[in-house]
Structure 1
Amino acid sequence: VISPALGDSGAHITPVPMIKYITTLLSLLAVPACAAVVREYSLNLTASYLAPNGFYREMFLVNGQHPGPLIEADEGDTISATVYNNLQVPMTIHFHGIHQLGTPWMDGAPGVSQRSIFPGESFVYNFTTAGQYGSYWYHAHVRSYYQDGIRGPVYIRPANDRPRPYDLVTEGNATATSILRALESNPMPLYIMDWNKLTSDAIYYKEVTYGIDPACIFGYLINGKGRVTCPTNEAITAAGASRLEIFQNATGIRSSFDSLGCLDLSAVNGYPGIDNVALEAPGFSTPCQATNTDREIFYVSGSDWMMFNVINMAGGFASYLSIDGHDMWVLQVDGTFIQPQKVKQLYVGLGSRYIIAVPTVKNNGDFAIRFACSEVAQVTEQIAWLSYNAPAASQPVDYPVTSDVYQDMGGNLYDPDNTPTFNETAAAPYEESVEPPQGPAQHTIHFTLNRTAVVSFSLMDGGALMPIEMEYMTPLLWADDVSHPTTVDVGIKTGDVVDLIIDNIDRVILHPMHLHGHSFWVVSESNFESFGYSTVEEAIANGSSTINLNNPPYRDGYGVAPRGHVVFRYIADNAGAWMFHCHINMHLMTGMSAVILEDREAVRPRIP
């Protein structure tokens, strides 16, 4: 339902009092040529018992489907989404990547920005999309319920006057550029999500009771569809050779994979004396059983180009994406047009979104769209199909594999010297105005990512853990007492520049870090060393080679490599209480989160 916008959209924006940021903010607040509207959606949350990959289990649905329905709007519109909780568990919905500019109470973080929606209750999320465009998603933010099915896409069509990089892709070919512009209004969905045999609550209780960090999944789904395949142990071991080496270098132990491609982590996982076999710990899965459920199929239908909206809706793993025999042009990352990159393999970070354009250069045949797990803990992949043939009455058992395969089931490239891959560090925004503020930051906050116990994960320097019970506490956005060890209150005011220095001291795990309420510039990054300085200014003064203040990526989530670091810089232009956390759900649930307070007193009187 679409209705005209009436009065204030709910956004209250305080101007940044620094001239050098005005250009950036004007760009971020560009509005479409057409009048903004209110787009109304209803999200009905229910439970069912289904078998998307051939094995039945309890799962959650949004409007009777998984993933949930698309929420779409034009840049500048207001979205009004009413959530009806007909589950037996509390719920909130977080609109991942949406800044909630002026409406921090709509961020969907329980115990931080709102109270949970309890069974039988409903809640209306109202927020503006002003200044934002591209791909986002919504998901449960209570426990790990989005891995049970509460997740779906959000797509905001860019304003007509928003600069686009399509001419760089088409080399100025007006016809091809017009095709891309037309496809932009409705890109094809390409959503990767993990799937487990057990519900997320059962996995959590097994984790905290027996010390088993789940680390492995039952498999992937693409757009809610998937199939279990059972490669030979030899094939899994060959595809996972580099993973075995990484694990051995970190632990001194030579491990092995089970039939689901799960690495045996018993040397570092689980409490002493547990029965790994009975508990199906990583490396001890029950024997793989193949299924023949439908895969997702995309039909070319004569177009010269296809555009895909790629979202990693998983709760545990990043992935490598490739399409046999086809190039991919990466156009957007995390809701921002970038300098386009032509690649054959794309790293799809956990929680991240990408708009890609694919030239459809073949005449006939079927080509695999491959998502392979990128993490050390597991070798697994899921396949969809890109078909140049007419739709069949029923899906065949499988299509033949072409000779143009770029990656194996572990994401390893068959010909790495001649296979271009996506370079995250070079993914600079296309609009030059989206540049980081120069000079020293008003605030520098340091975080240390660390596995403090078998199933405890922290990002605080002192090892403090955010308790899972915080979901039921008075939200920090308006609580009188905010003195918790994982609350960061350093006096951030509107217009301040904030640097987050994040060192990952874990030996094996890459942690994908997500900041609510903002996008940030990745101004320093290393995959093998800590930052080593107390501020960015100190790093510059000492000639650090990792600092990039000229054309850094602009993201809202980014991975921190084991034994590596990143530095995020952002402008405090959104008063509120904002979560900063690892997007591996079981790490978030066992403590790896903080809340950064930003000019909170300025927003408290306006909370509805």
Structure 2
Amino acid sequence: MPPNPSTSTRYAMLPTTDLQHAVDSIDSSDANAEKGAVDEETQSFWHRQMYRIVTAFSLLVVFAIALGMGVGLRGSSADATTTTTTTASSTATATAATATATETLVATSLESWRLDTASEYSIDMNWDSAAAPQTRYYNLTVSELEGAPDGFLRNMTVINGKFPGPLIEANEGDTLVITVINNGSTPTTMHWHGLFQNGTNYMDGVSYITQCVIPVGESFVYNFTLNDQYGTYWYHSHYKTQYSDGVVGPLIIHSSEEDDLVKDMYDYDQIVLIGDWYHAVAETYMADYLASGNENVEPVPDNGLINGASRFLCDKTPDDTCYDDEARNAVFHVEVDKTYRFRVINVGSFAEIDWSIDGHNLTLIEGDGTITVPYDYHKVRVGVAQRYSMLVHTNVSTDDGLFWMRAELNQYCFATTNSVLNSSVRGVVVYSTSLYAYTVGTLSKDLAPVTEAWDDVAANVLCLGLNDTIIEPMVVQAAPAASKFYRLDSSFQIKDYAIDLGYINNTNYKPLSSATLYEAYNMLSPDAYANVTDSNSSTLLSTSGVLPTGTFGGNKYQYVVNIPDYAVVDVLINNLDDGAHPFHLHGYKFWVMGWGSGNFKYDTYSDLNATNPMRRDTVVVRAYGWTIIRFIADNPGIWPFHCHITWHLEAGLLMQFEILPSAIAEFDPPEAWAQLCAASSS
């Protein structure tokens, strides 16, 4: 049996010199084949021959070791990145299983800035989801460093000195206390994507909306309880384009209810972060993107990553600093004839991604924290910020036990091309029966499976998300009849200085100098802070619908819909743009009532499916199309609704819902929250 993926340090067998030469010979042949230097038939032949030679030789080595040459098992624990009050580990128990008890193993080396996702993102199957609610503490330090996730060296912003960020793990009902320390060179905030934050809207982490920024050299403590939800989520910076530079990580909420629904379906549980990747700091693209005359031509990625790694061919940019030795694919070690739950999260900035494993069927069981009736795919298209859990049964055979895991960027969503782009990003799935199970660890630059991609397409060549109408939640919830209806026209418009900006109902969003919630709270609770001067709350308490321009700090670039009382709200998103938009609603999980191309036909409104539509927090609205979502306005706060493409959000494609302002007046935010805004205005 190969080393278990749940170990805190990956291990690889220490072969003899001759065995290493044999393995290097295979790896070199495979690398050339990947570049097209050897045709597939010839490569496959020699691959099989060398595999047999090395297998025979390795058996002799193991036999010799069994006669007394073995020296035991060595390893070191991974650096701790979080602190919790519980004895439940945030990673699985280290077990480092081996083929024989006497094999000699050495720890696989990783760069100091690279997180060992093979262990850190492997979820402990013995996690106690039925434990009594408790408080779990995490520390997240934001800083900057140079790294080369795909071999190309660039400046990055990371968490706890690692990329990607650490796993945050808790139970439904637990309280998270997360201290974010800003050791970077720019302000920051942290958003907990998909979490309801019911009663703690001020902990949602959206810069200039639910909080003021955390200044350089300062910290802020996020404190919130995880009520009424479970599943796969993630966290990321919500300050300008910062998350695109590496400030991302997974967040998993366990529950006994989820275990009862699906846990007996799988044997292992693994997180897979996928996303596009750029070779420059994201903010540096903004000047060209928002330049006069540029008609919403977004920056095209240079590559993509799987769990923070992939291969970039350095000879494409010979004048740049690129390290071929650090250009390595993520490796996923699997046992034979087991079922794996892969929690796939698109943490990218722009691209839709088709995720698949060659030769393996995918069974979808979760989307955005909603457990679904199992549905089979070959490829699953994941929009930016969306999450899907797929079950994969490891019962497919090849000569070498290797398979490509693919994350294919949908180039049809791009308005232009990038000559260096690697759109077919890959990882390697290594079966426990493969010799390579003992010779590779977390990453590999030379393994080249000979498997072929599925020849079907997740949706089609258009920019489309997964079809929500065929995804059925396992826990049935009928959507109640709507009592309010709002239409939001999403568009890009060229106005002053020939600059193309994002608009919702003809309003381009620009942030306040403080935060929308801070201003609203001051108006509604005038005695909360001594520096409050505006105590006029009548507008917020009485207006139903769009608030007057300039309600918050006189800023005319805020489109805010006020819902003062409990309501069931339908929102028609009408996309007037030639590109698709993954729209995310903070604080809520909504029903996807329907979608289509062209204009919505109002005479079909009564035909929308309300029986048990898909519930999620991020939905892809197709180009020149529409989507209707429905949510129950019962979670008080200021909640952004925006496109999650980094460039579109920075271009102003955002509006806000103010829900139950009378309840906002009863909020009790910590004084440190208000002090952030005081610091911003000083």
Instruction: Tell me whether the two structures share a fold, i.e. TM-score over 0.5.
Output: yes
The 2-side partners of 1:48 and 1:32 are apart by: 36
Question: Percentage identity across aligned positions?
Answer: 30
Q: Is 1:572 matched up with 2:613?
A: no
Pairwise CA distance, 1:517? 0.5
Deviations 1:364-396 (A, max 9, x none): 511111111124215712100111121415766
Pairwise CA distance, 1:422? 5.7
**Selected match of 2:600 from 531, 554, 557:** 531
Q: Is 1:78 matched up with 2:175?
A: yes
User: Secondary structure in 2 aligned to 1:3?
Assistant: coil
CA 1:504–1:290: 2 relative to 1, 3 Å: farther
Q: Is 1:360 matched up with 2:401?
A: no
The 2-side partners of 1:529 and 1:286 are apart by: 46
Retained in 1: the 8 A contact 2:232–2:253?
yes
Pairwise CA distance, 1:560? 0.7
**Selected match of 2:439 from 380, 392, 409:** 392
Mean CA deviation greater in 32-41 or 558-567: 32-41
Q: Is 1:42 matched up with 2:139?
A: yes
The 1-side partners of 2:204 and 2:499 are apart by: 27
**Selected match of 1:65 from 162, 167, 176:** 162
Q: Which amino acid aligns with 1:190?
A: V
Paired residue for 1:10? none
CA 1:133–1:316: 2 relative to 1, 3 Å: same
Deviations 1:448-505 (A, max 9, x none): 11111275343422x2111155566774542544365554555414531111111111
Paired residue for 2:613? 552
Retained in 2: the 8 A contact 1:105–1:477?
no
Paired residue for 1:22? none
Paired residue for 1:294? 328
Retained in 2: the 8 A contact 1:468–1:589?
no
The 2-side partners of 1:407 and 1:289 are apart by: 33
Paired residue for 1:437? 480
User: Secondary structure in 1 aligned to 2:652?
Assistant: coil
**Selected match of 1:2 from 67, 71, 84:** 84
Pairwise CA distance, 1:592? 0.3
The 2-side partners of 1:207 and 1:490 are apart by: 29
Pairwise CA distance, 1:581? 0.3
**Selected match of 1:405 from 453, 458, 464:** 453
CA 1:539–1:66: 2 relative to 1, 3 Å: same
Paired residue for 2:304? 220
Deviations 1:133-168 (A, max 9, x none): 1111100111010001111110011x22347554xx
Q: How does 1:435-514 map to 2 (within 5 A)?
A: 435-438=478-481, 441-453=482-494, 456-461=500-505, 463-468=506-511, 475-480=518-523, 481-482=551-552, 484-485=555-556, 487-507=558-578, 509-514=579-584
Paired residue for 2:38? none
Q: Which amino acid aligns with 2:605?
A: I
Pairwise CA distance, 1:540? 3.3
CA 1:341–1:484: 2 relative to 1, 3 Å: farther
Q: Is 1:160 matched up with 2:242?
A: no
CA 1:138–1:323: 2 relative to 1, 3 Å: same
User: Secondary structure in 2 aligned to 1:190?
Assistant: strand
Retained in 1: the 8 A contact 2:181–2:219?
yes
Deviations 1:248-300 (A, max 9, x none): xxxxxxxxxxx89xxxxxxxxxxxxxxxxxxxxxxxx9999994611100011
CA 1:605–1:484: 2 relative to 1, 3 Å: same
The 2-side partners of 1:442 and 1:323 are apart by: 44
The 1-side partners of 2:514 and 2:308 are apart by: 28
Q: How does 1:164-183 map to 2 (within 5 A)?
A: 164-166=260-262, 178=264, 180=266, 183=268
Task: Give the number of the structure whose residues are more often helix, by fraction.
Answer: 2
Pairwise CA distance, 1:568? 0.7
Retained in 2: the 8 A contact 1:298–1:387?
yes
Retained in 1: the 8 A contact 2:577–2:623?
yes
The 2-side partners of 1:179 and 1:550 are apart by: 26
The 2-side partners of 1:423 and 1:50 are apart by: 37
CA 1:427–1:384: 2 relative to 1, 3 Å: same
User: Secondary structure in 1 aligned to 2:214?
Assistant: coil
Pairwise CA distance, 1:404? 4.1
The 2-side partners of 1:44 and 1:572 are apart by: 34
Q: How does 1:93-492 map to 2 (within 5 A)?
A: 93-157=190-254, 159-162=255-258, 164-166=260-262, 178=264, 180=266, 183=268, 187-209=269-291, 212=294, 213-229=297-313, 291=324, 293-302=327-336, 304-363=338-397, 365-376=401-412, 377=414, 380-388=423-431, 389=434, 390-393=437-440, 397-407=445-455, 423-432=467-476, 434-438=477-481, 441-453=482-494, 456-461=500-505, 463-468=506-511, 475-480=518-523, 481-482=551-552, 484-485=555-556, 487-492=558-563
Pairwise CA distance, 1:405? 1.9
CA 1:341–1:286: 2 relative to 1, 3 Å: farther
CA 1:328–1:477: 2 relative to 1, 3 Å: farther
Retained in 1: the 8 A contact 2:488–2:572?
yes
Deviations 1:497-555 (A, max 9, x none): 11111111112x001100001010011200x222143xxxx5335xx5xx221221111
**Normalising by the residue count of structure 2, what TM-score does the alignment of the two structures yield?**
0.68
Q: Is 1:522 matched up with 2:592?
A: yes
Pairwise CA distance, 1:575? 0.3
Retained in 2: the 8 A contact 1:372–1:411?
no
The 2-side partners of 1:375 and 1:425 are apart by: 25
CA 1:564–1:76: 2 relative to 1, 3 Å: same
CA 1:288–1:524: 2 relative to 1, 3 Å: farther
Give the gaps of 5 or more residues in structure 2.
1-82, 87-127, 524-550, 670-682
CA 1:472–1:487: 2 relative to 1, 3 Å: closer
The 2-side partners of 1:190 and 1:346 are apart by: 13
Paired residue for 1:272? none
Pairwise CA distance, 1:344? 0.6
Mean CA deviation greater in 141-150 or 289-298: 289-298
Retained in 2: the 8 A contact 1:487–1:596?
no
Q: Radius of gyration: which is bigger?
A: 2
**Normalising by the residue count of structure 1, what TM-score does the alignment of the two structures yield?**
0.75
Q: Which amino acid aligns with 1:314?
A: G
Paired residue for 2:112? none
User: Secondary structure in 2 aligned to 1:108?
Assistant: coil
